[in-house]
Every structure is written in structure tokens, then in C-alpha cells.
Amino acid sequence: MQIAHMSDLHYCPENLAEADRCFGFAVDDAIRKNADVAIISGDSTDHRLDAHSPALLALARQIKRLADHCPVLMLQGTFSHEPFGMLRMLELIGAKHPIAIADRIGQIGLTDERQWKLSDTSDINHNFKLVVTCMPTVNKADLALMVGAENASAEMGEHLAALLGHFHESNSAYRRLGIPTVLTSHGTVDGSMNETGVPMAGLDHEFTAGALFSSGADACMLGHIHKHQAWRRDFDGNHQVIAYPGSIGRFHYGEIGEKHYLLWTVQPGFADFDAVVTPSRRMIDIEFMGIPNLDEIATVAKDCAGAYVRVTYKVDEEYAKTVDRNAIKQILGSCAEVKIVGEILSVQRQRCAGISRMPSIIGRFTKWCEVTDTSAAGLTDRLQLLQTMDPEDIASQIVRAEPLELKLAA
């Protein structure tokens, strides 16, 4: 059985072009390669969308294209990205094949007639072609009511591990009957790596790879983490695989690697996938500690043509005005987008009470040297020179190497 697995589409007005180009590509590819089933593992939208928004319509159109080719299963993702209940509307799309919405924990089977059917784990159905265990995003608030808010994060992992183990029996039974099994979920695997390369390690993650394998499913198709990665296990004669396709497109600066959708081959006791690269946009970061170097930007400008480019810099307050943002934009004129982000490092000033009321500049300067621990040696003399002579005269005296003549003010 071939299963197209897409995830984290994040449709919204801001992402529309990127999400639709990449998801559209994946749908085309899955149809062309004749996938038997498609699973979308959460975060189909980025935030709540109005029914009349072009982004929701574009998503619905792609889902219809997919469901005109094969049965589709959509999993509930993170609630803030995908308001609970929203996916239920997509279930109403009239396509050749059914669209199942998985927003509750449980098993769902694909029948002989290519229909989705909810299944009770205690009632093994010999006629299923595929069985999918669905673990949509779980509501931590529900768990907090039972175990207390302070324990909810850590307890979540324990509860999910117990639950995953509970499905082992039915998944094993299906495997013995020659029926492939899949688990689909949306959450963080402890030890996974996020899209910017940061390892996710901690106690409050939804699962461990071990807990997912213990479900006994041949393939674990996950969503939530936007970087593609996989885990494999050979155990008891079976080859199990867990994988995130990662987000379908590139939605933020700093995301490393290519973007993918996965075309799985799942058989009872064996799983594997092809990671198909989607045409995600290029996003390039150019960073400067200090004033952006225009020559340096000019040397990379050609390689940045057509890409989304972010120039970031950190400068001290007094140099902030010397950054020529327009020049940067001009040099990078062939880019699809140029974003300039400057961080101004503010100079720490120590308060020095009464300094502004001191009558002479020399007095204020001496006081400032005291407060900032600066040696005044030689400096007060020079300050006096500046106060009494023209800069040109000072300079010509230095050039002639004549000893400077102090004309001290009274």
C-alpha cells in the first residue's frame, strides 16, 4: 500500500503562495505516482481562517483534488493553528473518495469499498485494507483537571505512552491478518530536532520513539516538527519506521534543509518511505556584527536573486544612523523580498549627579573621567588646546612636529 503523507501545511493569507505551491506540487506528485491513500498529519491551517478567505478556499481545492484521486485522512493539529472543529467542514467536500477527519483518539479502518470506518480495538475487522490509529493533538487542559496543572506536561508523556501500548494488541492482530497498520499523531518526539536545528529534549514532550514503536504500528506518520526526520527499528521480524515529513513549505527564515512530503510503502511488518522534495522558497540570512558591509552584500547579491533575504545587524547606538538601508535594498534589488532587521545596542550610561551644572568643560570632563574610571592623563591638555586653538593650527603644528604651545585659558 502506497500512502502519501503531508504535514504542517499552515495555510493562511501570509503563507498562501508558499503553502499552495508546495502542497499543490505534493498533490500532483501523489496523484501521478498513484498513491492509494493520503494522510495529512495536522496543522493544515496556520490560524483560524474566515470561511470566505482565499487561503481556506485554496486548501479546500487541493483537498478535493487529492480526494478525487484517493481516500484522505486529516488529523487535528495544534489547536492554535487549527481551531477545533474547523476540519469538519472539509469533510463535507464532495469528492470521489471520502475525507475522514481524525479529531479523537481511536482506530479507523479503510474498507474494501475504500470507505473509512471507525473501528473498536476489541472488534478486529478482517476485511480492512488498512488500519490507522489516530492520536490527534491532546488537550493538556483535560489532563490538568485530573493530575494538576503543574504535573500535566510530564504526565502527558506517561499517559500517551500507556495509550500507545494499548494499541499494540490490535495492531499485532491486524499484522497477523496481513493488514498494514499506521499510527498518525501530532506532537514532539523527545530528542527530535526542530527546523532551526535545535534539539528538543525535555520531560514535557508528547512521546519517545520507544513509546511510538510500542504501538506496534508498521509506520508512525507524525506532524508538528517542521524538519524532516525519521527513526527505524527492527524488532521481532518487523521493520517499523517513525517519520516527520516536516512542513510542506518554508514558512520562516532560518529553517535548515529541504522541505518534503513522504510517499510511504507500508506492508504488514514493513514500512519505508521516499522523501520527495517540494519546491519551497529559498530564504537566506545575511548577518553582521556591526554595520552591514555593502561590498560583502554586493558579492553575494547575484546568488540571492529571486530568494527571500533577511539582513540582520547589531550596531552601537551612535552608529545606528550610518546604516544605509536603502543602499542594501538597492544592492539586493533582484530578490523576492529584502527584510532588514537592525538591533541597536544601547550604550549604558552611568548617572553622574550634578555634572551638567558644572561651569567649565574641563571640570565636567575631569568629573566624567572619575566616574568612568578613565585616565585623564594628557587628555585635559588636549581638550584645552581644542578650546583655544583652531583645529588647522593644531594640525599644522603636529605636522611640523613643533612642541604644542599651551595657551591656557584663565
Q: Would you say 8 or 255 has its CB closer to Mn ion? A: 8
Q: Would you say 107 or 280 has its CB closer to Mn ion? A: 280
Q: CB of 226: closest distance to Mn ion in angstroms?
A: 6
End-to-end alpha carbon distance in the chain: 98
Q: CB of 279: closest distance to Mn ion in angstroms?
A: 19
Q: CB of 137: closest distance to Mn ion in angstroms?
A: 10
Q: Would you say 44 or 119 has its CB closer to Mn ion? A: 44
Q: CB of 251: closest distance to Mn ion in angstroms?
A: 9
Q: Would you say 170 or 247 has its CB closer to Mn ion? A: 247
Q: CB of 82: closest distance to Mn ion in angstroms?
A: 9
The contact pattern for Mn ion, residues 3-32, with x = CB under 5 A and - = no contact, is -----x------------------------
Q: CB of 7: closest distance to Mn ion in angstroms?
A: 7
Q: According to the 3-state scheme, what is the secondary structure of 85-138?
A: CCHHHHCCCCCCCCEEEECCCEEEEECCCCCEEEECCCCCCCCCCEEEEEECCC
Q: Would you say 20 or 43 has its CB closer to Mn ion? A: 43
Which residues within the stretch 34-53 sit at the binding site for Mn ion (CB under 5 A)?
43
Q: Would you say 43 or 218 has its CB closer to Mn ion? A: 43
Q: Would you say 181 or 280 has its CB closer to Mn ion? A: 280
Q: CB of 84: closest distance to Mn ion in angstroms?
A: 16
The answer to whether 206 contacts Mn ion (rule: CB under 5 A) is: no
Q: Would you say 47 or 117 has its CB closer to Mn ion? A: 47
Cell digits for 130?
488498512
Q: CB of 219: closest distance to Mn ion in angstroms?
A: 20
Q: Contacts with Mn ion: how many residues (CB under 5 A)?
A: 2
Question: What is the contact surface with Mn ion in residues (CB under 5 A)?
Answer: 8, 43
